Structures are given as structure tokens and as C-alpha cells.
């Protein structure tokens, strides 16, 4: 090979060497970004409040809800007003709770409504819903909603029909936070918390959705498990023979001790604490846990449930931190989220070699 060929070969060699160095630098930067990335997986059974937690993160870190969001919830909330009324009328018939005579014909009309075909909330329907909601039998149905499937927030909208039923109605943040739309598939939100990039993933909690969890286990920094602590006297929508809180406990034990999570720090949000404290005054926790002997004392009941979950997830390889939350309370979630960041994330990153 002549001098010219040697120079060309050397030039190619140097170019390749420079290219390799650039690739190495890019990989190094990418690796560092991954090391500093906080990935949180939010799990829990259906209706535990996971999606509400994600909505709060939108408010706190992404500027809240846009006009498209509000238009979507406008339709959902107004349709739910009719759906929840139908559910309560059906419950009255099933449990033998007699409506006032003047409402018998109206109740029959609502019994014939197919909820899947509800398209909108008409003005004349608002009047009918208002009349039914004023019936003592429907109030009894709502009070006994743990005996059938009815969202806790249904009374919030029914008590404010003048506002919700107005054609010019625009959902407030509180309306959206309280609105129940089952999560299907995977919802992801990314933002910077301080200078650290966060990604929070919420996956549907219904039994049919849980198979999707396995695809989200890689590179998880922290597991947040959400428990609807007020569900100790309620049954699953999918299986009316199964207690909701027991289902949540069994699922937490299975998930948190899975090979992907057994060495990961975990946070438990005992959610809907406001509803729990109201319910425990008249409902005994022993109907869920026969070994409970604390009566109607809310502090004793909370400690008992907390201990059950800690025992279910206990091992020497990780810490489990607990918080009592009300996911619809933005300030509460902000305070809890700050506590999670300060007391857990730094520790988790150090344990995982991220810091």
C-alpha cells in the first residue's frame, strides 16, 4: 500500500475512532439520565383512587386540566347522573325499598333505561332525576351503596343538579377529581420534580387489566400501592362474593413480594380516609377481619389495617412507608407527595445506586 493509501486508511481509522468516542459519550449521557430518572408504578385494585392521584399530579405539576379534558368530563359527568339514578332505582326494587307512590311510574321509566345507550342529559331528564333523588327510598339506597355497585361521589353531583344540569355547565377541578372513569390500559405522566425527571405510570386495577402490569416492571424506582381503606364492607364489582379490602390485601401481598418488587421500597396510600372515618362509626371492621376487636374506634381500625398490610409485604430487603390520604384533596396529596420525595425517593435512589 502506497503513502496515499496509508493516509486514507489512517483517516478512516481516526474517523471511526472519533465516531466510537461520540457514541460512548452519548451512551454515557443516556445512562446517567436513566440513573437519575425516577420511575414510579402506581398499582391497586379498581376504584382505589389511583387515577385520582394521577389527576392531582396533573394539577400540581402539569398545569391542570385543559379545555379538551373539561369537555370530555362534561359528557361523562352528565351521563353518570342518569346512570347512578338508574342504579339506585334498580337497587330499591332489588332490596324492596318502596318509593313514594307519586314516583312509581317515573321509577318504572328509569328501570327501562339502558345505561349503555345514554347519550346526553336532557333538561326534562334533569327534572325527573331531581324528583327521584328527593325520594327517601333513593336516599336509603345511597346510604346502603355498599350492598350494590354505586360510586361514593354520586351524591355530590345529584345534590348539585342545578349546576350540573345547566347546558352551559363546565366541570370544575373538584368535579373532575370526583368523576369515576375506569382506567383501561396504561396511563403515563412525565414531569420534572425539582431538577429530577419523573415518570408515573397508572395501570387499570380491574382483574382483567392486571395482566398488563408485568410489562411495566422494568426500571421501577418505587412502587406506590393505593388501598381504598373504606371498602372493608364492600364487594367486588367483578365478584360479589369477594370483599374489596381483602382482595386489595391479597393482591398487595402477591405483587409486592414478586421478584420484581421484593427489593424495592414501597409506599402504601391508605386512601379515602375521610370516607373510612365516617363509615367506621356505624360499621364494624370485624365483618372484614374477624380477629379485629377494636370496635368503632377509627384509630384502632386504621392501625389494624396498616399492620395487616405491613405483615403481608414484610421482608428484610426493603422498607414500606404508609400514608393516610384523601386523593380528592389537592393539598393533602401535595403534602404526601413532598413527604414521599423527601423521605423515600432519595433513600430509594441511594439503595439502587442512583445517587
Q: Give start and end residues of each alpha helix (H) in the chain.
A: 3-36, 50-61, 67-95, 104-111, 123-133, 136-143, 154-158, 161-164, 173-178, 244-256, 273-279, 298-313, 330-340, 346-351
* CA-wise closest residue to 165 among 192, 126, 110, 117: 126
Q: State the catalytic residue, choosing from 56, 78, 145, 202.
A: 202
- Cell 408504578, residue? 41
Ligand-binding site membership of 48 (annotated): yes
Ligand-binding site membership of 183 (annotated): yes
Q: Is 52 a catalytic residue?
A: yes
Ligand-binding site membership of 18 (annotated): no
Q: Is 180 a catalytic residue?
A: yes
Q: What does the alpha-carbon distance between residue 244 and residue 20 come to, in Å, rounded to a whole number?
A: 56
5 φ/ψ angles, rounded to the nearest 5 degrees: -65, -35
Ligand-binding site membership of 177 (annotated): yes
Ligand-binding site membership of 64 (annotated): no
Q: State the catalytic residue, choosing from 206, 209, 210, 330.
A: 206
Ligand-binding site membership of 85 (annotated): no
Q: Is 263 a catalytic residue?
A: no
Q: Is 202 a catalytic residue?
A: yes
Ligand-binding site membership of 50 (annotated): yes
Q: State the catalytic residue, choosing from 69, 100, 115, 180.
A: 180
Ligand-binding site membership of 278 (annotated): no
Q: State the catalytic residue, choosing from 47, 175, 231, 247.
A: 47
Alpha carbon dihedral 147, 153, 159, 162, in 10-degree steps, equals -130
Ligand-binding site membership of 52 (annotated): yes
Q: Is 72 a catalytic residue?
A: no
Taking residue 306's Cβ as centre, other Cβ atoms within 10 Å add up to: 17
Ligand-binding site membership of 162 (annotated): no
Q: Which residues are annotated as a binding site?
A: 47-52, 152-153, 177-183, 202-206, 271-274, 327
Residues with active-site annotation: 47, 52, 180, 202, 206
Q: Which residues are annotated as a binding site for Mg(2+)?
A: 51, 183
Q: Which residues are annotated as a binding site for GTP?
A: 47-52, 152-153, 177-183, 202-206, 271-274, 327
Amino acid at each position: 500500500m502506497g503513502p496515499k493509501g496509508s493516509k486514507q486508511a489512517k483517516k478512516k481509522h481516526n474517523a471511526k475512532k472519533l465516531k466510537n468516542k461520540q457514541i460512548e459519550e452519548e451512551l454515557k449521557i443516556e445512562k446517567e439520565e436513566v440513573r437519575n430518572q425516577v420511575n414510579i408504578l402506581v398499582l391497586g385494585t379498581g376504584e382505589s383512587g389511583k387515577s385520582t392521584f394521577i389527576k392531582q399530579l396533573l394539577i400540581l405539576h402539569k398545569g391542570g386540566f385543559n379545555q379538551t379534558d373539561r369537555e370530555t368530563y362534561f359528557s361523562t359527568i352528565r351521563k353518570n347522573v342518569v346512570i347512578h339514578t338508574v342504579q339506585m332505582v334498580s337497587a330499591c326494587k332489588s332490596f324492596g325499598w318502596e318509593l313514594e307512590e307519586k314516583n312509581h311510574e317515573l321509577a318504572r321509566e328509569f328501570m327501562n333505561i339502558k345505561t349503555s345507550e345514554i347519550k346526553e342529559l336532557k333538561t326534562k331528564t334533569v327534572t325527573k332525576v331531581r324528583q327521584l333523588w328527593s325520594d327517601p327510598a333513593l336516599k336509603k339506597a345511597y346510604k346502603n351503596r355498599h350492598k350494590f355497585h354505586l360510586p361514593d361521589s354520586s351524591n355530590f353531583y345529584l345534590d348539585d343538579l342545578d349546576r350540573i344540569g345547566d347546558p352551559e355547565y363546565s366541570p370544575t377541578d373538584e368535579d373532575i377529581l370526583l368523576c369515576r372513569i375506569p382506567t383501561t390500559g396504561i396511563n403515563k405522566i412525565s414531569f420534572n420534580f425539582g431538577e429530577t425527571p419523573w415518570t408515573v405510570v397508572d395501570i387499570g386495577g380491574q382483574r382483567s387489566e392486571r395482566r398488563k402490569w408485568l410489562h411495566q416492571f422494568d426500571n421501577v424506582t418505587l412502587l406506590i400501592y393505593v388501598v381504598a381503606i373504606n371498602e372493608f364492607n364492600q364487594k367486588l364489582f367483578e365478584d360479589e362474593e369477594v370483599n374489596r379490602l381483602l382482595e386489595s390485601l391479597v393482591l398487595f401481598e402477591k405483587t409486592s413480594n414478586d421478584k420484581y418488587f421484593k427489593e424495592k421500597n414501597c409506599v402504601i396510600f391508605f386512601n379515602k380516609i375521610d370516607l373510612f372515618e365516617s363509615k367506621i362509626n356505624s360499621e364494624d371492621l370485624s365483618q372484614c377481619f374477624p380477629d379485629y376487636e377494636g370496635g368503632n374506634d377509627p384509630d384502632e381500625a386504621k392501625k389494624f389495617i396498616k399492620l395487616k398490610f405491613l405483615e403481608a409485604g414484610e421482608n428484610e430487603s426493603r422498607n414500606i412507608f404508609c400514608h393516610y390520604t384523601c386523593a380528592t384533596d389537592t393539598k393533602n396529596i401535595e403534602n404526601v407527595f413532598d413527604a414521599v420525595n423527601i423521605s423515600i425517593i432519595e433513600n430509594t435512589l441511594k439503595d439502587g445506586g442512583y445517587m
